[in-house]
Structure 1
Amino acid sequence: MVQYLMNSTEIVTDEESIVLYFSEPEKGRATNTDIIHNCIGKGYRVIVVTNNFPSKVLEKLYVKNGINPDEVFFIDQVTSFGGGSSVKSDGNHIMIRSPQDLTGLSMAFSDVMKKFSGDKIFILFDSLSTMLIYLPSDKVVKFMHFITTKLRTLEESGAILAVKGGLDPMLYSQVGSLVDEIVDIG
């Protein structure tokens, strides 16, 4: 089902669902922030997989928007890649060496799901569009299938962010078949 929402503040998440959110490029950060705020308010343990912005940038954005960044766990694929080699994984961050490292990302994802296994988890994957810069679409679809299958097996929820108009029709239909809902934030 595709929903068209007037603005991202209307975002609603249901338990055990996976949603693909499309937004205009300039609304990506606001969409990310609104989803995080909404999920924390609903009692989720939020895990952000970011290949779009370094986690430190997102943390500053969250603080600016009234979100305590300590309530979010980050799997960061871009900080090390962008030259932040001195930044190490810690209790609230796992640093992956590059956006192309799907093996490292898969292992980190599995580790985090185990770490928070007693919590109600929400995974935010930001962003599918950026992932396509680094990887061919067939690998992206296979990885998204892994993520969505893992979430369903563990009865957890998640969202995938993408830029509106940023997916070719074949990729749109393939990824669309993996989610419960597609939301176009108009």
Structure 2
Amino acid sequence: MRSASEPLDLDPGRQTLVSVGSMASVIESLPTSAFGNLLVVSPNAPARVEKTIERQGGDPSRCGHIPLTSSAPSYEGPLWTTSPVAPSDLTGLSMRYSRAMEHVESGRGWFCFDGVQLLLMYAAADDVQRLLTTMASATRTREVAGVYGLAHEAVTSETYERLASIFDDSVDRRPR
């Protein structure tokens, strides 16, 4: 596990699980280069994702968002978004991911899943593990860097280890 002090800069295709604090967004751990072509899955409203990207120095018009929520957020801004998907709908999430990844450039794009623990509140750990394995594999094959944020305190040690085994690396960005 790499430390929080090292810059989070991944080679194309590298998939990393990032432990974050319960209220933190893994988007804040991305390097500036990620915001040139980024797809984000997040339970946060598009306007909040947009603001987080802007705070990091990114251009939201170069980023996409799959809202992980049961309600349709109202948003008109530069961030392109898909229709929302409920956290319990792993098939719907997989379908939106597949379509949206067509806009992420191989060799230079980034994929960011913010709030992996939310899926575990609505779906069985085995199903979540299968989905994340599929996403990480497809993202790796496209040579897109992948960052998957998980509030470490929200899962058991066993669940964390199961999920960590999917990825190439893990990083701890929780506050000390």
Q: Helix, strand or coil for the counterpart of 1:123?
A: strand
2:147 aligns with: 159
Aligned length: 173
| TM-score normalised by the chain length of structure 1 | 0.80
1:103 aligns with 2:98: no
Please state how far the C-alpha of 1:34 moved relative to its aligned partner.
3.3
Please state how far the C-alpha of 1:11 moved relative to its aligned partner.
2.1
Q: Which runs of 4+ in 1 moved over 3 A?
A: 115-119
Alignment partners' CA distance in 1, 2:106 and 2:56: 28
Change beyond 3 A, Cα 1:95–1:130: same
| TM-score normalised by the chain length of structure 2 | 0.84
Change beyond 3 A, Cα 1:38–1:91: closer
1:45 aligns with 2:37: yes
1:55 aligns with 2:43: no
1:19-168 correspondence runs (5 A) = 19-26=16-23, 28-29=24-25, 31-35=26-30, 37-40=32-35, 44-50=36-42, 52-78=43-69, 81-82=70-71, 84=73, 92-117=80-105, 120-168=108-156
Q: Deviations over 1:39-89 (max 9, x none)?
A: 23xxx5110011x311221112323443221121111122xx2353x669x
Q: Helix, strand or coil for the counterpart of 2:30?
A: helix
Percent of residue pairs bearing the same amino acid type: 20
2:2 aligns with: 3
The runs of 5 or more residues in structure 2 that have no matched partner are: none
Are the aligned partners of 2:65 and 2:79 in contact in 1 as well (CA < 8 Å)? no
2:12 aligns with: 15
Please state how far the C-alpha of 1:91 moved relative to its aligned partner.
8.1
